[in-house]
Structure 1
Amino acid sequence: MKEQSIEQFLTDLSAKKSTPGAGGAAALVAAIGSALGSMVGNFTIGKKKYESVQLEVQECVHELEKIKMDLEDLIQKDADAFYPLAQAYKLPKSTSAEVEYKENVIEKALVGATTVPIEIMEKAVRAIEILGSLSKIGNTMLIADAGTGILFCKAALEGSSLSVYVNTAEMKNMQKKEALNQKANLLVEEGSFLADKVYKKIKLSYK
């Protein structure tokens, strides 16, 4: 899926198709946010004005590139995770044995369907942290780009949390449900707080 053109991806996204969906879109948005961070870093590396932070910026770019590639892979992984769940809902439930089997398969598939959005959230939070650093030490001409990248990653973070909640809402295992919801809640709280803080600081710098 990551080999598709932007035009084809958006065409598929807008079509009456199960995949790609919100999860894949969130992964793409976070990847774009990470790429903006890499751009800020690359416009900083080699500049004499920023000689004292060259190593730190290089490390930021290296990690953001890894995050970006991981997110590209997660676009396809999100689609792959949806398939077992879709198939599980189609299982027969004519007998009590079939009902029990179907419920178990659905429960397992629901857990699997939360794995990718949680991973997207984790990547988005880390990207926000790095973008925050670049907004402080990176090329000052591109601070707005760092801020835009942060907003992209925040959108992906909060959007992916909805993908978690929509699946946990159907879970029977309350312990697993609460654990996944708590993890998603903490990631949203952590990432959104930092994103908002950095965004406000960048915005004020232009006043």
Structure 2
Amino acid sequence: MKEQTIEHFLTELSAKKSTPGAGGAAALVAALGSALGSMVGNFTIGKKKYQAVETEVEKIVDELEQIKLRLEELIQKDAEAFYPLAQAYKLPKETQSEIEYKENVIEEALVGASVVPIEIMENALRAIELLEQLSKIGNTMLIADAGTGIVFCKAALEGASLSVYINTASMKNKYKKEALNQEANQLLEKGTILATNVYQKISRSYKS
């Protein structure tokens, strides 16, 4: 899926199809945010003015590139994770044994469909943390780009959390449900607070 053109991906996303869906879109948005961070870093590296932080910025760019590549993979993995769930709902439920089997398969598929958006959230949060660093030490001419990257990653974080919650809402295993929700809640809270604070700081600097 990551080899598709932007036009083709958007066409597929808008079609009456289950995949790609919200999770894949969230991963793409987070990848865009990460790419913006890399751009800020690359416009910082090699400039005499930022020589003192060049090594640090190089490390940040390297990590952002790894995050971007992983998020590209997660676009496809999100689609793959949904397939078993869609198939599970089609299973017959005529007899008691069929009902029990279907419930077990659905439960397992719901967990699998929750794990991918959790990983998208993890990567989006880490990208926010790295972009926050760049907003402090990166090329001052591109701080707005770092801020935009943070906004993108925050949106991805929030969007991916909904993919978690919609799956856990159908889970019967309350312990697994609570564990996944708690993990998503923690990632969402940490990332949202950090992203909001950095965005406000950047926006205020242009308004003053």
TM-score, normalised by the number of residues in structure 2: 0.99
**1:111-130 map, 5 Å:** 111-130=111-130
Query: 2: CA distance between counterparts of 1:20 and 1:85?
Result: 14
Q: Between Structure 1 and Structure 2, how many residues are aligned?
A: 207
Partner of 2:99: 99
Give per-residue Cα distances to partners, 1:93-140, cap 9 Å, x unaligned.
Answer: 000000000000000000000010000000000000000000000000
Partner of 1:25: 25
Give per-residue Cα distances to partners, 1:58-113, cap 9 Å, x unaligned.
Answer: 00000000000000000000000000000000000000000000000000000000
Instruction: Tell me the CA shift for residue 16 of structure 1.
Output: 0.4
Partner of 1:201: 201
Q: Indicate the SS of the match to 1:206.
A: helix
Partner of 1:67: 67
* Matched letter for residue 103 of structure 1: E
Query: 1: CA distance between counterparts of 2:92 and 2:52?
Result: 65
Partner of 2:172: 172
Moved over 3 A (4+): none
Give per-residue Cα distances to partners, 1:8-46, cap 9 Å, x unaligned.
Answer: 000000000110000000000000000000000000000
Partner of 2:161: 161
Partner of 2:133: 133
Query: 1: CA distance between counterparts of 2:166 and 2:138?
Result: 38
**1:2-13 map, 5 Å:** 2-13=2-13
Q: Indicate the SS of the match to 1:204.
A: helix
Instruction: Tell me the CA shift for residue 204 of structure 1.
Output: 1.0
Instruction: Tell me the CA shift for residue 197 of structure 1.
Output: 0.6
* Matched letter for residue 143 of structure 1: I
Partner of 2:150: 150
* Matched letter for residue 157 of structure 2: L
Segments of structure 2 that go 5 or more residues without pairing to the other structure are none
Segments of structure 1 that go 5 or more residues without pairing to the other structure are none
* Matched letter for residue 20 of structure 1: P
Query: 2: CA distance between counterparts of 1:24 and 1:159?
Result: 10
Instruction: Tell me the CA shift for residue 49 of structure 1.
Output: 0.2
**1:22-61 map, 5 Å:** 22-61=22-61
Q: Indicate the SS of the match to 1:9.
A: helix
Query: 2: CA distance between counterparts of 1:159 and 1:76?
Result: 16
Q: What is the root-mean-square deviation in Å for CA atoms of aligned residues?
A: 0.3
